């Protein structure tokens, strides 16, 4: 396995690049309380993993077209088969990232690339509920 940097043309990532611990969380939606119009949401069952978090700026192309949802972060983690687009990434400072797409780099079941959009922080979500 070669140990190229993520920004290299070959898109390789190595274990040494994963220097940040993030939490992968499931989002659960509950029916609104009587008389309330907002759906209640809660984040549960987390998996703590080592990751490389890269913030993006400007316009990103997603699937060959521009996305209505801005792509703000790319997160690289070790391959985990349970990770999908219904999960969220929570950074150490409480920032929540919505996973828009997952990619198994080079189809080797070694590393996952998570394309994410910034949602806000836990405090913002708690203020809405």
Domain boundaries, the chain: 15-128
Check residues 5 and 28 and name the one with the higher pLDDT.
28
Least confident residue range of 38-42, 64-68, 78-82 = 64-68
* pLDDT digit string, tens, across residues 107-125: 889 999 999 999 876 555 4
* pLDDT digit string, tens, across residues 49-72: 999 999 987 655 555 555 577 888
In this predicted structure, what is the pLDDT of residue 102?
94
Of 50, 46, 72, nearest to 59 by C-alpha is 72
Check residues 51 and 2 and name the one with the higher pLDDT.
51
In this predicted structure, what is the pLDDT of residue 2?
57
Average pLDDT, the chain: 79
Check residues 29 and 25 and name the one with the higher pLDDT.
25
| Contact present, 117 and 56 (Cβ < 8 Å) | no
**24, pLDDT greater than 70:** yes
Q: Which two tokens stand for residue 70?
A: 């801005």
| Contact present, 38 and 29 (Cβ < 8 Å) | no
Q: Which class is domain 15-128?
A: mainly beta
Q: Is 111 exposed, middle or buried (0-12, 13-18, 19+ CB in 10 A)?
A: buried
In this predicted structure, what is the pLDDT of residue 129?
43
| Contact present, 50 and 76 (Cβ < 8 Å) | no
């Amino acid at each position: 396995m070669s140990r190229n940097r993520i920004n290299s043309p070959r898109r390789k990532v190595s274990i040494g690049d994963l220097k940040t611990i993030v939490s992968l969380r499931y989002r659960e939606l509950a029916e609104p309380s009587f008389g309330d119009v907002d759906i209640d949401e809660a984040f549960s069952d987390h998996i703590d993993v080592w990751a490389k978090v890269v913030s993006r700026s400007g316009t990103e192309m997603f699937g060959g077209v521009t996305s209505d949802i801005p792509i703000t972060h790319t997160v690289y983690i070790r391959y985990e088969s349970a990770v999908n687009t219904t999960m969220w990434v929570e950074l150490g400072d409480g920032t929540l990232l919505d996973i828009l797409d997952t990619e198994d780099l080079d189809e080797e079941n070694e590393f996952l690339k998570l394309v994410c959009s910034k949602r806000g922080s836990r405090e913002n979500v708690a203020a809405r509920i």
